[in-house]
Structure 1
Amino acid sequence: MSDNRKYYYLKLKESYFDDDAIVLLESMQDGMLYSNILLKLYLKSLKYGGTLQLDENIPYTAQMIATITRQQVGTVERALQIFMKLGLVEPLDNGALYMSNIELFIGQSSTEGERKRRARMKISEQKRLSGQVSEAKADICPPEIEIKKEIDIEIEKERELKPGRAAPAAYGRYKNVILTDTKLSELKAELPDKWEYYIDRLSGYIASTGRKYKNHAATIRRWAADDTAKAAPKKGIPDYSYKEGESL
């Protein structure tokens, strides 16, 4: 009997622990503990595309996170504050927490799916070596084809709505952030050092969650404004940011 259950996993790069945010995190007091909590949260968020929630309607609270990570509530609360300051976690409108970089690590598979994938790859390689055109080629990468079709449809819609204007283009890591030349120029002017970061961030978020936005430029501006507001020191919340000349 085949096993069709889904399995979620992290794909960590060799340089994961060399990332500036992780180095700063682990250099703090109890930093190794926070790093362990962070990895557990990445794993717990995989099922819902990076969102920390028990099911479709119930987001994880600090108490729930403390339970599933087997840590004290106070430790989890401090860790979450630090994660948000480092841009590793961000709050969503529904009160849930989103793991900001999850699109870089997320993967999904199943035992049956892996078996079929290996079989297709073997058939493709055999036919390539024998000089034949693989009949399974259309089945090897349909997701990428479908994504390209959806992007082309969105671009065509933009062209129909605004006749005479230059057609928008697709940007970002997954080529799913649609911007006109004018919108892109405006973002470059408003966010000279971070426009690429926010485009890639939105691209990864769309790819991992499947969410759609009517105006990608407006979404980027809102995220940038929210990040600026969150970066401002808040009364009663310790400032864990690193300042030049201080020891970590």
Structure 2
Amino acid sequence: MAEKKYFWLKMPRNFFEKHYIKILRAKDNGDLLVMFYIWMITESIDHEGKLRFSEDIPYDAEMLAEASGFALQIVTQALQQFSKLQLVVTESDGTLFLPKSLKMIGSESASAQRVREYREREKNKTKLTETPENAECNERVTESNVNVQKGNIEKELQ
């Protein structure tokens, strides 16, 4: 059985302060251009920043307009602006690649998620059981190790 893989989009806190976003927002329909860019990123999440309709067919502006629900005029304007700002690069086979998306995309399998959650629970248990008394005990154990090491050195010298 194929294991589920989870993807997420990590938007930087200062996303709307990025120069390319400010430039897009200053254009006519700027907020729609930004929304379309975010849509493209979310569509490319599980394809490592690449967008294609299928292995044989790359997206064109009309197909993107239909798939996204944005007007063809917005999609055409967006693709021109994205190319100019290098937010979208059209590869030789027609694939649209969003280079900045690679830093925003993360993924993990279901088993990796379970292990991460288990480790977090164990870490929290350790924090709850650690008391000043336990910490003091650890210090004494370390001291006794030092004494044993000193004793071994003295025996070897004799």
Q: TM-score, normalised by structure 1?
A: 0.47
Bigger share in helix: 2
Find the counterpart in structure 1 of residue 147 from structure 2: none
Find the counterpart in structure 1 of residue 5 from structure 2: 6
Find the counterpart in structure 1 of residue 70 from structure 2: 71
- The answer to which of 63-72 and 51-60 deviates more is 51-60
Do the aligned partners of 1:4 and 1:113 also contact (CA within 8 Å) in 2? no
Unaligned residue ranges in structure 2 (runs of 5+): 136-158
SS in 2 for 1:95: coil
Find the counterpart in structure 1 of residue 80 from structure 2: 81
Find the counterpart in structure 2 of residue 102 from structure 1: 101
CA distance in 2, matches of 1:111, 1:87: 34
Find the counterpart in structure 2 of residue 32 from structure 1: 31
CA distance in 2, matches of 1:110, 1:27: 39
Find the counterpart in structure 2 of residue 17 from structure 1: 16
**For 1:45-56, what aligned pairs fall within 5 Å after superposition?**
45-56=44-55
Residue identity (%): 28
One-letter code aligned to 1:7: Y
- Over 3 Å counting, the alpha-carbon distance change for 1:7 and 1:55 in structure 2 is farther
Deviation, 1:127, is: 6.3
Do the aligned partners of 1:7 and 1:109 also contact (CA within 8 Å) in 2? yes
Deviation, 1:63, is: 1.5
Q: CA-to-partner distance for each residue in 1:22-57, whole Å, 9 max, x for gaps?
A: 011011110001111000000011111001113444
Higher relative contact order (CA 8 A, sep 6+): 2
Q: TM-score, normalised by structure 2?
A: 0.71
Find the counterpart in structure 2 of residue 42 from structure 1: 41
CA distance in 2, matches of 1:58, 1:44: 16
- Over 3 Å counting, the alpha-carbon distance change for 1:26 and 1:118 in structure 2 is same
CA distance in 2, matches of 1:57, 1:47: 18
Deviation, 1:15, is: 0.4
SS in 1 for 2:35: helix
CA distance in 1, matches of 2:120, 2:64: 40
Find the counterpart in structure 1 of residue 122 from structure 2: 123
CA distance in 2, matches of 1:60, 1:38: 15
SS in 2 for 1:101: helix
One-letter code aligned to 1:33: L
Aligned length: 129
Unaligned residue ranges in structure 1 (runs of 5+): 132-248
- Over 3 Å counting, the alpha-carbon distance change for 1:116 and 1:54 in structure 2 is farther
CA distance in 2, matches of 1:8, 1:58: 24
CA distance in 2, matches of 1:38, 1:23: 13
- Over 3 Å counting, the alpha-carbon distance change for 1:6 and 1:98 in structure 2 is same
**For 1:53-202, what aligned pairs fall within 5 Å after superposition?**
53-123=52-122
Do the aligned partners of 1:89 and 1:98 also contact (CA within 8 Å) in 2? yes
CA distance in 2, matches of 1:59, 1:126: 51
One-letter code aligned to 2:57: I
One-letter code aligned to 1:83: F
SS in 2 for 1:109: strand
Deviation, 1:9, is: 1.7
